Structure 1
Amino acid sequence: MKVYLVGGAVRDKLLGKALHERDYVVVGATPEEMLARGFRQVGKDFPVFLHPHTDEEYALARTERKSGPGYTGFTIAAEPSVTLEQDLQRRDLTINAIAEADDGQLIDPYGGLADLKARMLRHVSSAFVEDPLRVLRAARFAARFADDGFVIAAETLQLMRQISTHDELATLANERVWQETVKALNTSRPAVYFKVLKDAEALSPWFPELEDNTTFHAVQARLSAIDMTTAELVFALWMGELSAAQINLLSERLRVPKEWRQLGKLACRWHAAAQQLTQHKVFAECALHADLWRRPERFGQLLLVWRQQGLTLTEQEKLQTAFDAADRVSAATLIEQARAAGESLVGPEIGAAVQQARDTAIAGVLKE
């Protein structure tokens, strides 16, 4: 039984990047041996175990044979006779197919070290075409490592096109497409993800909105100049360049979480380049529509989106001041003031008075 560090941990270590998790492959062992050593089995499709002390993942070396359509159509063999080289061969990209022994020796049967040096994302073998999810993974890695100078090898891009033209992408589960897309949105270069998919002729069936050149270039321009902190906000910027109908269709297709969907619609409806947000009536309507008084954290999110959509620093400061002034309006204070004036506020009158006071507070700032 031999254990090797594999995959992203080896790759990122060689690139001098921080390691967030370590995955290991175990050669020459059976599930019974792993359990006897205290490991806990968690894999259903193939044997994956958690270390009894570190909870790190240890997978038995395995091979995969294509036996059906889509990314799930594989027959898995995890036998003690499977070699490390066989296990590495089933991986997607050469830079992810390097292993490290416990003495630090690197095992690189498929040229991953050379591709790391050349900054090349290249497939390990022709079996790359058997798994359509690899199209999205390759595009996501291109986005993740774009700042390091990595590009997709021409022959790998050709295989990605081959997958696309055979309609294999349609076999993917929307959850997997969404997971890969969110990871891409979390990178510093999310525009690269969609550019690679376009070059691979892989925008359909999951991103047909971007097959329109005008929309594609608008999204590329927006996502190429981002300064965002979360994938959710990058998604909102992306949605800001679509129509409301397109947002609904895409959100259903990818099963986008409700909160993300709502923020995306707001980024579209109240796009800073299309709305005069510093006009007090416009901002008051926006605040009511976006439910900012019950969801004040949403204002901070929209302000970040609006900044990317072209709102100037001065305009941002004005909106922040107007929001703060309106947010300080207190129903209790208004009721007390009415009582002091010999009047009373009850039921719906309270809500109307609060809204009027907020509108007045906003106007007091934005009319200046």
Structure 2
Amino acid sequence: MEIYLVGGAVRDQLLNYPAYDKDWVVVGATADEMLANGYQPVGQDFPVFIHPDTGEEYALARTERKSGKGYTGFNYHADPSVTLEEDLLRRDLTINAMAMDQQQQIIDPYHGQDDLNRKRLRHVSPAFSEDPLRVLRVARFAARYAHLGFSVADETLTLMQQLSQTDELEHLTAERVWKEFERALTERSPEIFLQVLHQSGAIKKVLPELTDTLNDPDFSKHFAILCHKNESAIVRFAGLLSLAKNIDILRFCDRLRAPNSYKELALQCNKHHQQLAQFDHLDAQTKLDTLLQLDLIRRPQRLPQLRLCLDTLHDTVQLDSLPPILEQIALIQPKQLMAEGFTGPALGEAINHQRLSICQQYDRGIE
């Protein structure tokens, strides 16, 4: 049994880049041997095991053969006779197809180190085209390493373009597309993720609602500035959809099955960011209407994320009066008004009158 560190951990160690996960390949072993050594299987049909002490993943060396559509359409063959080189051959990019033995020696049969030096994202073999998910993965790696000077190799981009012209990308589930999209939003340069998808033609298959937006030559510049201001994926998502053209945000989020928190913030930001950024200059009634529309009186915890969205979309934000207004509105006592005889619709009107009076205190020239 021989054990090798593989993939991203080797790549990022060579790049002096932070590495958070370690994956291992085991050559010359069987599933029974792994179980006998205390490893826990991940699934019945997949030769991956969890180390009993570290919790890290150890996979038996395996080969794969295309058997259907999509990224799940593969048959795997794991056997003690499968070599490390055969296992590495099935990987997506050469920089992900390196291994390190227990003596810290690098095994690099497909010249990943050369591509690291050339700052090139290049596919390992023509089998790259068999897995549509790799188009999204390459775009995400481009977003991660663009600031280091990395770009997609011409021949790999050509394969991505060819793959985008087939129906393979249509077999990716909404959940899988969303997972890659969300992860891309956490990378250093998310605008590069979208650019690569656009260049490859994949955007029309996986995120077609953004096609018009990406045809705008100024969009990437504006989105890059936005992302530079804030690293939060949810804030970047909301900002992206506020910059996007001709997009039904609700339908887009529902199709991708984006989390409700992402959908709500995107909708609120898109509809109200222009007005909210000038909140201090609004008249009292408009201030109150804005608070009610955003449900900030009942849910003031929304304000910090909204504020982050505003800061990413606007050079100046006039919002100083909003926190004290919310604080004072929270002190209104409906029970006291009820004790004074207000009930039903009259009670609601009385509460609204007090809220409006508080907003009036912060009209420009009065505060």
TM-score, normalization: structure 2?
A: 0.91
How do residues 1-368 of structure 1 correspond to structure 2 at under 5 angstroms? 1-213=1-213, 216-217=216-217, 219-226=219-226, 227-242=229-244, 246-272=248-274, 276-278=278-280, 279-280=282-283, 281-313=285-317, 315=318, 319-330=319-330, 333=333, 335-336=335-336, 343-368=340-365
Q: Return the alpha-carbon distance in structure 1 between the equivalents of residues 134 and 65 of structure 2.
A: 16
Distance 2:198 2:276 in 1: 27
Shift of 1:267: 1.3
1:7-36 deviation line (CA, Å, top 9, x unaligned): 111111111122211110101111100000
Deviations 1:76-98 (A, max 9, x none): 00111111001111111111111
Paired amino acid for 2:19: L
In structure 1, distance between residues paired with 2:217 and 2:346: 49
Change (3 A) 1:245 1:95: closer
Q: Which moved more, 1:281-290 or 1:348-357?
A: 348-357
**Aligned partners of 1:45 and 1:76: how far apart in 2?**
9
State the distance in 2 between where 1:267 and 1:344 align: 39
Q: What percent of counterpart residues are identical?
A: 44
Amino acid in structure 2 at the alignment position of 1:268: N
Provide the rounded CA distance (Å) in 2 between the counterparts of 1:213 and 1:258: 23
Q: Is residue 332–residue 351 contact of structure 2 (8 Å, CA) maintained in 1?
A: no
> Cα distance 1:296–1:273, how it changes in 2: closer, same or farther (>3 A)?
closer
Distance in 2, Cα, partners of 1:14 & 1:334: 64
What SS does the aligned partner of 2:203 have? coil
- Residue segments in structure 2 that go unaligned for 5+ positions in a row: none
Distance in 2 (alpha carbons) for counterparts of 1:166 and 1:334: 62
Q: Deviations over 1:150-207 (max 9, x none)?
A: 1111111000000001121101111110000000011121111111100001111221
User: For residues 274 and 225 of structure 1, what CA distance do their matches in structure 2 show?
Assistant: 20
* 1:334 Cα offset (Å): 6.2
Distance 1:301 1:58 in 2: 39
Q: How many residues align?
A: 361
Matched residue SS, 1:270 = helix
Residue 243 of structure 1 and its aligned partner are, at CA, apart by: 6.5
- Which range moved further: 275-284 or 48-57? 275-284
Residue aligned with 1:187, SS: coil
Distance change (3 Å), C-alpha of 1:287 and 1:49? same
Query: Post-superposition shift, 1:333?
Result: 4.2
Q: Structure 1 unaligned segments of length 5 or more: list them.
A: none
- Call closer, same or farther: CA 1:146–1:360 in 2, change over 3 Å: farther
